[in-house]
Amino acid sequence: MNTLILRETTRVLFTLILVFSVATLLRGHDAPGGGFVGGLIASTAFSLYIFVADPKDVRRLVRADPLKTAAAGLALAILSGLIGPILGGRPFLSGEWVEIGAVELGTPLLFDFGVYLVVVGAVLTFALEIKEPGAAPAADSEE
């Protein structure tokens, strides 16, 4: 189902949904939201785009392999948890903060961004595989 109304609505909503997902990500460690919810919202935008566009267009838009994006997000989330033990001898996932100008940044935001990337990468991997089955190489193929 690829109608004119769906294509034009997607064109308008895609950017709005992504902006909302980033806003949800950024307010997450202080209020409801965060990486998981923001990632799901961004995945909604990309999934909507997958329905109206060719998977090759979606891959060109994303510019990175979704599975590698998920892996990078997982690595970032783990790294953010290791900063506390490495720098301060504190437990895993302890919050560490640094002030840059008037902005205070911390490891919870890094963790949330990692989770955001994991969710977006995983959902995009699944959605693209549904749209173009068999395009991804099989992990273990026995002949």
pLDDT, block means (10 residues), the chain with 143 residues: 85 94 86 88 93 88 93 96 87 86 86 95 94 64 50
φ/ψ of 108, rounded to 5, equals -60, -35
Which residue in 57, 29, 79 sits closest to 38, CA to CA? 29
pTM equals: 0.85
Encoding tokens for residue 28?
């997450």
